[in-house]
Structure 1
């Protein structure tokens, strides 16, 4: 896979959601994980993060978006269910990206949205769990950059040998 990515959340309030998002980020090969204005301590998230992500990849905690530092060339991609957001299945992921999700019961703050280079939405009827949304975004990125052959035309068919590329 090309490039790198990070994922995080603004104002995440449930430790289990943070832990699940961290574990999924680790599984998909995130370069780092971050939170902005999180309402809990990292140790509370360990119950859901059995992969011990904080010991595998860097975890950055910021109090405000102004404090957030990103690598040069990294594009911030907001994930938000808004009318003008780009549908995730049509989005070309940047090679260097940091994805940010909103809180469990709310939206990304206007300051975050203003800082985003892109805003994408998952085509659902309503908002879904923050850790599930993060998993879908990372899976979509993985499919986009994974080097998989085109899908077969017939249901149940397999293209190639059915194994992971690489």
Structure 2
């Protein structure tokens, strides 16, 4: 079932709150999508969207161990389409892209990631306000790229919380160690 782009184009952006939407182009691996959903929960993304049919067929096999899909909207869309106040940011290994360490994340970001076995199409890249890449030796796994991008956004944010309270709230039930 394909949904409309209502999630992607909703005007829910408030001037004071950041908003993050992840758009994955034609993902194929349920394991990658499960890891992306977990990252979306950890880094407080607002929604995860995907195009294509491959993940829709494999969705039952995802590995979303935290059941983030129950709390963050996950929807299939026809094509990437950010809301009116969102900046579309492609994350892709392409010549001329900005290295992630030098990138300033927009307050309202619509991040677009290519498929595991391909690249973001030129017509989509042409619609993006920004194109960034993670400077590595070789290409990274899709889910790893999403994690690195969202961590970079968190690390550069002036609203990031630090301290024991965030550790206690974030760790799993088997971790009770202290320094």
TM-score range for the pair, normalised by the shorter chain length: 0.7 to 0.9
What is the number of equivalent residue pairs in this alignment? 151
Q: Does 1:36 find its partner at 2:51?
A: yes
Task: Show structure 2 runs of 5+ residues with no match.
Answer: 1-15, 167-179
Segments of 4+ moved more than 4 angstroms: none
Q: Which of 13, 24, 43 is the equivalent residue of 2:39? A: 24
Task: Show structure 1 runs of 5+ residues with no match.
Answer: 149-161
| Alignment TM-score, normalising by the size of structure 2 | 0.75
Instruction: Pick which of 49-58 and 132-141 moved more.
Output: 49-58
CA contact (8 A) 1:10 1:38 kept: no
- C-alpha separation in 2, matches of 1:42 and 1:165: 40
- Hey, what does 1:153 align to over in structure 2? none
Per-residue deviation at 1:11?
1.4
CA contact (8 A) 1:80 1:121 kept: yes
Q: Does 1:11 find its partner at 2:26?
A: yes
1:19-65 C-alpha deviation (Å, 9 max, x unpaired): 111111111100111111141227735641012122101112113x2
- C-alpha separation in 2, matches of 1:84 and 1:138: 21
CA contact (8 A) 1:46 1:52 kept: no
CA contact (8 A) 1:10 1:102 kept: yes
Per-residue deviation at 1:18?
1.0
Per-residue deviation at 1:164?
7.1
CA contact (8 A) 2:36 2:143 kept: yes
Q: Does 1:102 find its partner at 2:114?
A: yes
| Structure-to-structure mapping, 1:1-166, within 5 angstroms | 2-41=17-56, 44=59, 47-63=62-78, 65=79, 68-147=80-159, 163=163
CA contact (8 A) 1:77 1:119 kept: yes
CA contact (8 A) 1:4 1:30 kept: yes
- C-alpha separation in 1, matches of 2:154 and 2:93: 21
1:82-117 C-alpha deviation (Å, 9 max, x unpaired): 120000000000000011111111111112211211
Root-mean-square deviation (CA), in Å? 2.4
